[in-house]
Structure 1
Amino acid sequence: MNRMATVEAVESFLPDRSYTIEELAGSLGLKRAQVRLLQKVHGLHRIRQDSDGGLLDLVLPAARRILEQVPDPTDIRYVIYVHSTQEVTPSHLDAAAQIRDALKLQHAGSFALTQQNCATALAAIEVAGTLLEDEGDPYARVLIVIGDKTFTPGNQLLYNTGALMGEAGAALLVAPHDVPGDRILSYATKTMGRYSGGVLLSVEESKQYGRDSARALADVMRAAVEQAELTWDDIHWVIPHNAPLTETVALLGLDPKTVYLEQLAEYSHCFASDVFINYTELRKANRLEPGRHYVYVASGLGATYSSMVFQHQAPAMAPLTSV
């Protein structure tokens, strides 16, 4: 991203219904020992899920809250739908177009991103920034809508990675780089294709995947902070996906208290949405401070690792003047 974008607004949505792992064990085929492992080792206890609602019920509430903040909806030039599960609708339906039309944004272009699985939302911010740079219009905006349904046991339980997936929706409004908001300062990502098998990895491959993942996350987090020309002393919070990061935190020498995972037990991993769920939880508790720097972290099965540094609610950039 040559000219960094600004995330002007972030909203999230969680279904009201909460389930314990014990309540889901039967439908997921989990044995008692496996339940205990997910609880004690991976820190998972509950998830949110709306068994009666569809995809639009999950993703539209956060997007509509974003639209309430947009004076002129025609400024939204693109709608990007981010999903981690590749099959989200029957093949003859275009989920991105359905979301765009449900939001009454038919004037906007729409497409979906999914290739980086749960790390895709950070890639979508970069894509949005590139689109806005090409537009060259200070009023142009990109709406990113994020969310996946846990519609089968196979995409809800990724046991070899220790992930139990919950449902959540999120939405972001991305603006040009020189408007007030969360200014993106850097983006680092890497993919290790040898783990492209994902849930099909063998037991030994899964163990090595876990070891390599910790180092890969540390590498991209370090790279993002360095690209932003900051040090870890400048970072107020690390805002990650909902997964234990003990080894990564140790590799970086971070204070674990600066890594926000307080909702891991309650929400579990929510595909590509949970980074922004954690952001809105911090914001709701008044724990984000204007002018401070924060790090987003996400990894996607397959395996992609991404990190992004932003400055929270940065003021508008002063225009360049000639001397």
Structure 2
Amino acid sequence: MLTLFDIGLHFPERVEKIGAVAEELALSQDQTRMYARFFGFESFRCDPEQALAPLLHKAARLVLERNEELGERLTHVVYCHTLPSTAVFSGDTHSVLEPFFAQGLEAFSVTMNHCATGLTALSILEEILTDDGVALVLIGEKAFHRVVRVIENATIMGEAGCALLVGRGVGPYRILGSATSHDGRFACITGRPGDDSLSAFADSYVDFACESIQRALTRFGVGLADIRCVMPHNVNIPSWTQIARQIGLDPHRILLSTIGRYGHCFGADPFINLQHARQQGVVGPSDIALLFSIGLGATASSALIEVQ
């Protein structure tokens, strides 16, 4: 059984209000009102002047400086990203991992489950980590273009660097299990405007999420009554309200308060929400939380966490 030892988050200092970036994102007045009033987006952290590697390395330094003994046991570094390529015609993925290659660590990139990749990586680490091994998981990317930032009538991306320390032993979060589901009908979806698959994906989205949550809970051997809180991906508020209603969960048990502050930060959202919930006292010792995310493709990944 794995333990999540620590979560490090780094956000760009630059704050964008949705009204201020509407023109840049080619949003009409009606779309801007929809994203703000209906979907719940207010502001985002996004800095075009900050490169990808520093965004992630600052998050990594936070957890490594707080956990020097765990850092000495570090064996693997995993970079999880939503986009198959995280920069335009550059070796930016390599620049993220280069400092760790130089230390002789096993470093690799994981993608293709899109925004669910960060949770999917936990099942990989469960298989490859030794009893003494520790992995640094890096999650995040740049929202460098409108096509990357906006999924029509669904969500808007923000930027965050997220770093996790994962291994075996005593720590604040026990990872009780992880699960992944796929819907292969949308394997070729791109998310770009004009993608013919987007409409069908949107129509199936809530059902796919509900089925994936129920399947995961069955696999974990728990029920909704056992879950203190769901730490979701920040797609939008109405989608999660529909999901909650359909599975019979009180919407107040889904942590949605960071959507307005940060937007959808690719694969980092469930961990942002877990950190926020712990800091705000929403979850405490012995509570069980479900981390959940859906990625285009379509993939749904989840992890069951027990707070220590």
Counterpart of 2:77 (choices 73, 76, 79) is 79
The aligned amino acid for 2:287 is: R
Aligned equivalent of 2:114, options 97, 114, 117: 117
Equivalent AA in structure 1 for residue 223 of structure 2: T
Answering whether residue 103 of structure 2 is matched by residue 143 of structure 1, we say no
2:218 to 226, 229, 233: 226
1:87 counterpart letter in structure 2: S
Q: 2:276 maps to which residue?
A: 281
Instruction: Tell me the amino acid that sits aligned with residue 139 of structure 2.
Output: I
Q: Write the deviation string for residues 193-242 of structure 1: whole angstroms up to 9, x where unpaired.
A: 22232325868753432231111111221222222222211111100011
Equivalent pair of 1:119/1:298 in contact (CA under 8 Å) = yes
Matched residue SS, 1:272: helix
- Which of 236, 245, 248 is the matching residue for 1:250? 245
Q: Tell me what 2:174 maps to.
A: 183
User: Residue 44 in 1 paired to residue 41 in 2?
Assistant: yes
SS at match of 2:210: helix
In the alignment, the residues of structure 1 paired with residue 45 and residue 193 of structure 2 have an alpha-carbon distance, to the nearest angstrom, of 27
Q: Deviations over 1:67-109 (max 9, x none)?
A: 11131534111100011122224656262x5334446861211
C-alpha RMSD of the superposition:
2.0
CA distance, structure 1, for counterparts of residue 196 and residue 87 of structure 2: 34
Q: After superposition, give the CA deviation of every residue in 1:46-72 in whole Å (9 maximum; x if it has no partner).
A: 111112110022111211111111315
SS at match of 2:68: coil
SS at match of 1:12: strand
Q: Which whole-Å CA distance do the structure 2 matches of 1:92 and 1:106 have between them?
A: 23
- The reply on whether 1:265 has 2:260 as its aligned counterpart is yes
Does the C-alpha gap of structure 1 residues 45 and 72 become closer, same or farther in structure 2, counting only changes over 3 Å?
A: closer
On the 8 A contact 2:6/2:63 being kept in 1, the answer is yes
User: For the structure 1 residues 89 and 210, does the alpha-carbon distance in structure 2 shift closer, same or farther, using more than 3 Å as the test?
Assistant: closer
- Say which is worse superposed, 277-286 or 201-210, in terms of deviation: 201-210
Pick closer, same or farther for the CA change 1:33–1:280 going to 2, 3 Å: same
Question: Aligned pair in 2 of structure 1 residues 266, 70: CA closer, same or farther (>3 Å)?
Answer: same
Partners of 1:98 and 1:204 lie apart in 2 by 35
3-state SS, counterpart of residue 71 of structure 1: helix
CA gap of 1:94–1:152, structure 2 versus 1, over 3 A, is: closer
| Residues 275 and 215 of structure 1, relative CA distance in 2, 3 Å threshold | same
Please state how far the C-alpha of 1:282 moved relative to its aligned partner.
Answer: 1.3
Change (3 A) 1:183 1:72: closer
Q: Does 1:297 align with 2:292?
A: yes
Amino acid at match of 2:171: P
Whether 1:197 and 2:189 are equivalent positions in the alignment is yes
Letter in 1 for 2:300: Y
Q: Which has the larger radius of gyration?
A: 1
- Residues 248/204 of structure 1: CA separation in 2 closer, same or farther (3 Å cut): farther
The one-letter code of the counterpart of 1:78 is: H
- 1:203, 1:112 → 2: CA distance? 27
Number of the residue aligned with 1:320: none
Partner SS state of residue 283, structure 1: helix
1:88 aligned to which of 86, 89, 98:
86
| Aligned 8 A contact 2:56 2:140 in 1 | yes
Code of the residue aligned with 1:130 in structure 2: it is E
Determine if contact 1:100/1:106 at 8 Å carries over to the other structure.
no
Q: Which residue of 2 aligns with 1:321?
A: none
- The alpha-carbon distance between structure 1 residues 292 and 114, as it changes in their structure 2 partners (threshold 3 A), is same
Distance in 1, Cα, partners of 2:88 & 2:106: 21
Name the residue aligned to 2:60. Answer: 63
The range that moved more, 182-191 or 59-68, is 182-191
**CA displacement 1:253-301 (0-9 Å, x = unmatched):** 0001100001111211010111111111112223221121000010001
Which residue of structure 1 aligns with residue 157 of structure 2?
A: 165
CA deviations 1:174-211 (Å, max 9, x no partner) are 102x5334222222221112223232586875343223
Check the 8 A contact 1:78/1:141 in 2, yes or no. yes
Counterpart CA distance in 2 for 1:92 and 1:33 is 36
Shift of 1:166: 0.4
Letter of the 1:189 partner, please give it: T
Assess if the C-alpha contact under 8 Å between 2:152 and 2:193 holds in 1.
no
What amino acid does structure 2 have at the position aligned with 1:93? G
Distance 1:158 1:185, change over 3 A: same
